[in-house]
Amino acid sequence: MRVFIGIDLPEDVKQNIVNLQRKLPRLNAKLVEPENLHICLKFLGEVEENKIEKIKKVIDEATEIYEKFDVEFDGIGFFPNKNYIRVIFLEISKGKEILCSLADIIDEKLSNEGFEREKRDFVPHITLARVKSKVSKEDVEKLENLKLHSIFRVDKIKLFSSRLTPRGPIYSVIYEKGLR
């Protein structure tokens, strides 16, 4: 089963993001579907069914440490960078430190359970689109000028399954646990 740990977004925030996605310049890119918009804390990939309980335990332990908190975003960012764009995302400003700490705790606790540690630094974000070809300088400028200011309360962490289909992934919540 293909899984990840993440934070779901409220429906009104998803709708605001969809409205922003409509303002993106015409690119050779695949937009993230509204129902799939989220903040990923840890992508685990293919996991054997018998390890799901260990992941739930880690989520339980992490949610006992953290209280509900606010996340705010406004600017656009790019992975790996603006000269070679493969992912367009919303940058998170407020709540960034808590998200980084939460992702690190989850990563550490999962490594104690036999899962591989993350090799890259965690960058909290919300993916808007995956780019398939080079983006012109003009389009990069247009993207950099886009803004969407939004704030929402994070009150739970979820374990999602991700089933790949020809039309794209379908996410389902396997488990969720509220923060303190």
Please report which residue ranges of 2-95 form alpha helices under DSSP H. 11-21, 52-65
pLDDT computed for residue 74 by the predictor: 85
Distance of CA 36 to the CA centre of its chain: 9
pLDDT computed for residue 168 by the predictor: 87
Expressed as residue numbers, the domain containing 17 is: 2-178
Number of domains in the chain: 1
pLDDT computed for residue 167 by the predictor: 85
pLDDT computed for residue 44 by the predictor: 97
Instruction: Provide the 3-class DSSP secondary structure of residue 100.
Output: helix
In contact, 37 and 73? CB cutoff 8 Å: no
Across the chain, which has 180 residues, the per-10-residue mean pLDDT values are 97 97 94 97 96 97 97 94 96 96 98 94 96 95 93 98 92 97
Half-sphere exposure of 26 (CA within 13 A, CB side): 0
pLDDT computed for residue 20 by the predictor: 96
Half-sphere exposure of 31 (CA within 13 A, CB side): 15
What are the residue numbers of the active site? 38, 125
> Which CATH number belongs to the domain containing residue 25 in this structure?
3.90.1140.10
